[in-house]
Amino acid sequence: MNIWIVGARPRTLAAAIAPVSIGTALINTDSQKINWLNALLALGVGLLLQIAVNYSNDYSDGIRGTDDSRVGPVRLVASGLKSANQVKRAAFASYFLAALCGLILSLRTSPFLILVGVIAIIAGWNYTGGKNPYGYSGFGEFSVFVFFGLVATMGSYFAQSQKITWQSLLLAIPMGALSCSILGLNNLRDRPKDELVGKKTLAVRLGDSGARKFLVALLLFAFAASLASVTISLWALLVLVTVPFYIALIKGITAGLNGGALIPLLGKTGELQMLTALLITFALFLTKA
């Protein structure tokens, strides 16, 4: 069982928890009570989709051989710890459970969420799976921004309010940008090996220098959007405490670190995303309409 937990890449789960936390807390600014069952269902969808994507990427990259001799977290298929079919079944089981949570949530709120869920599952599988995986063509960051930023945050708020608002869109931006930063750092770390096997991630397409500039721009964008949430709550000024984190990350990225040396930055980016989410969530709980 421990192997399956490692294969689920628990360190990536903050990217699923953070947007749900913010999207749920936003309902407080409407002077409404949180529907905790809907919140838990939204969290279940986010976590299970993240786990499913991690397993499906492990499977798809493993059978293609693109995970061979790669730095980073343990790959179940490439390392031989689990067979490709076992990992594929784990991915499908996770997608099924995510769909089940999503179905219950949609029955409690709006059938519109069924369509969103179907699109999210298709996108998750085709990131590295299928005949033409878009993750191999440089569109991974775009997908992450949409699904782990916009959809996760706005969808969590929608599960509480059945509304789509500019406030939920604004709060979704830093979550999407920070999730993109995690993926971008991951792809920067793997860029040399990805280039060798024909995996044309955005980091491969932009080159080392371009990928680093893109990451710095993403981080600045995330901070600017976080700070802009003062238009929703003045308590959001609390995000200023994250400035040292941004400075440390930008220094690390521009210092030219490569390979395994980038792994600590990945962890710090995940911590930054979770800290940002906690601060904004706290700010929203302190705010009444």
Residue 280 confidence (pLDDT) above 70: yes
Residue 289 confidence (pLDDT) above 70: no
Residue 81: pLDDT band (50, 70, 90) is confident
CATH number, domain with residue 114: 1.10.600
- Domain total in the chain: 1
Query: Of the candidates 52, 51, 84, which has an alpha carbon nearest to the alpha carbon of residue 67?
Result: 84
Question: For the chain, what is the mean pLDDT?
Answer: 93
Percent of the chain at pLDDT above 70? 97
* Residue ranges making up the domain that contains 199: 2-285
Q: Tell how far CA 105 is from the center of its chain.
A: 21
Give, in degrees to the nearest 5, the angle at Cα 16 between 255 and 25.
110
Q: Do residues 191 and 201 lie in contact, with contact meaning Cβ atoms separated by under 8 Å?
A: yes
Residue that wins the pLDDT comparison between 260 and 203: 203
Residue with tokens 């299928």: 130
In this predicted model, what pLDDT tens digit does every residue of 54-79 receive, in sequence order?
999 999 888 887 765 566 677 889 88
Residue 250: pLDDT band (50, 70, 90) is very high
pLDDT at 71: 63
Q: Average pLDDT in the 91-106 region?
A: 97
Q: Tell how far CA 192 is from the center of its chain.
A: 23
Q: Tell how far CA 227 is from the center of its chain.
A: 20
288, containing H or E segment: none
Percent of the chain at pLDDT above 90? 78
pLDDT at 39: 97
Q: Do residues 17 and 46 lie in contact, with contact meaning Cβ atoms separated by under 8 Å?
A: yes
Q: Do residues 176 and 150 lie in contact, with contact meaning Cβ atoms separated by under 8 Å?
A: yes
> pTM to 2 decimals?
0.93
Concatenate the DSSP letters of all residues of 180-233 into one string: HHHHHHHHHHHHHHHHHTT---HHHHHHHHHHHHHHHHHHHHHHHHHHHGGGT-
Q: Average pLDDT in the 258-283 region?
A: 94
79, containing H or E segment: helix 76-79
